[in-house]
Structures are given as C-alpha cells and as structure tokens.
Amino acid sequence: MSTVNVPPVLTSARDDAIHLHRAFKGIGCDTTTVVNILAHRNATQRALIQQEYRTMYSEDLDKRLSSELSGDLKKAVLLWMHDPVRRDATIMRQALSGTIVNLRIATEVLCSRTPSQIQQLKPVYHEMFGAYLEHDIEHQASGDHKKLVLAYVVTPRHEGPEVDRMMVENDAISLFKAGEKRLGTDEKTFIRIFSERSRAHLAAVNSAYHSMYGKPLTKAVKKETSGNFEFALLTILRCAENPGKYFAKALRKAMKGLGTDDTTLTRIIVTRAEIDMQYIKAEYIKKNGKPLNDAVHSETSGHYRAFLLSLLGPNH
C-alpha cells in the first residue's frame, strides 16, 4: 500500500507546472514549494506535470530540478520523478556502470522485484541505455552470484499463491542434500530452486525446511554460501516471505550506528512509497519499537527530511 498523500482537491498539472516555474525564478529556489507539490503527486500526475512544463516553457523539468536542487534532496527528487520501471532501470544502470560499480544495489533491486516487474524492466532498460540488462550483469558480476542473478532475470516464474506440497518437500530435501548434508556445497541446486520457484513456493520451502531439519533455510544459506551470492539468495528468500520486513530491516541498517547511508535510505523510500510502504512502516515499528518516520526525522535534516517524510505519509 502506498503512503503518498495526494490532496483530495488537486490543482491541474498546468497549474503545478506554473507554480514550479515560479519557484525556480529569481535568486535561489523556493524549495518548499517544489517539495510540497512533487512529494504529493503520484506517478501519473508527475508525468503530466513534466509534459505540461515542457509544453509551456520548452525545457525539461528534470534538467531544471537538477540545476536548482542539490545534495541528497536533488538525488531523491530526480529519482522520484521517474515512473517505477524507469526508476528501477536508472538505479540498475548506475549500479552496473557508474564510476563505482555496486553489485549489492543491483542485487537488492533485482532479487526483490516480482517476475512481472523484471519483465517490464528489461525492454525499458534497453530503450533508455541502448544496452541489455543481461549483458551488463554478465559483464560486472562473477561466479555463482552471476549465474543466480542471470537465471533470476531470464526465468519466468509463477506469481500466484498456489503451491504443490510434494514439490515443496522435494525442494527442501534437495536443498538439505545440496548444503548441510554434504561436504562443500552444490551451488547449482540452490541456483535452480531459487531462480525457478515462485515466492509462495519458496516461503513454503523455508517453512518445510525448518520443520524437517529444525532450523530455518536462511541459516543454511548463511552457513553454506558467502558474499554477493549469499546476499542474493537471502534477498530472494526474505522477499518471498515478507518484502515489508526485508525493507524495514534494510532501512534500520541504513540508519544504524555513526552516520546514515543516505543512498539506501533514499532508494528504498522512493522506490517503495507507491508500492508497499504502509507494510514496511508496520514491520519497522513492530521490530524497532519506534515509527519509521521518527527514525528518518532524527537521521536527516532540511528539505531532504521534509521530502522523505512527505513520501512516508503521517504516523499511524
């Protein structure tokens, strides 16, 4: 469920474009107005504002935002202006071909998305960057991590809630034999099952594994694998069980200790605000005893803070 708070009586996209243009005029930028408009418009409305702005002022709104804003706020707003598919494509491209390649981010995005989201992402990635997502993964990743992520991107998976109990039990046995039962690990089995099975099926496998062998499958994954391969397997498994819980934990980690990982904070809040942020907020308070909004408030400041808190919606 989305947390984006769109006003009940909405100004037209044309009026929004006029107000934004006024906010950019003169010395400095009226950032409060920019945040108040853009943080309270959904993807369709933002696209209409961009169209109106281009028609009226013959300039690209994103380019203007880029020159008027700065720092973490600029990164967050520019990411927000995309529709979800183009946003994922942008994050993936930066992670796979930026000045610093970040396989963790690429893995988190791909392994937390549904099969239909991945199928939508591939052609858009190619259209935007003239490169195939699979080729960029092939070029940057390596070893079992590469095999798993590539398989996860190309394999069609069922998205419904139905599971075959017999198949679930067989997969649990296969994973035990491939990992904890033997010396060394049969990575191929892990790759096959994790890339071919639906979320509902994997959640059932995790539960079956626990009841059959007395420990969760996540423990076996941690014991048998490492590095980016381990991270990919755990992301797939945790998102199969409860994506809200997965992202709540990632947000907690981003704000824990000295300093804040603003890249992660921005990425998760911006990408999940229109999808399942209500669930993430519920999981966050359940686990940490304080609302996500309060944590974000204490870790951020200024217009950047105002923007993220607007996307998160009110505390409930």
CATH of the domain at 249: 1.10.220.10
Q: Is residue 108 part of a domain?
A: no
Is 121 inside any structural domain? no
How far apart CA 248 and CA 46 sit, in angstroms, is 26
Report if residue 256 sits inside a domain. yes
Residue 33 covered by a domain: yes
* Domain count of the fold of the chain: 2
pLDDT at 316: 67
Q: CA 311 to CA 35: how far, in whole Å? A: 10
Q: Name the burial class of residue 164, with classes exposed (0-12), middle (13-18) and buried (19+) by CB atoms within 10 angstroms of its CB.
A: exposed
CA 237/CA 271 separation, integer angstroms: 20
In this structure, how many other beta carbons lie within 10 angstroms of the beta carbon of residue 160?
Answer: 9
pLDDT reported for residue 219: 94
- Torsion of the alpha carbons at 117, 123, 129 and 133, rounded to the nearest 10: 70
Tell me the average confidence (pLDDT) per consecutive run of 10 residues in the chain, 316 residues long: 85 96 92 97 96 97 97 98 96 92 97 97 98 97 98 96 97 94 88 98 97 95 96 98 97 92 97 96 97 97 98 88
Report the distance separating Cα 276 and Cα 269, nearest Å. Answer: 10
User: Model's pTM, two decimal places?
Assistant: 0.94
Residue 200 lies in a domain: no
Instruction: Give the domain extent around 255.
Output: 243-312
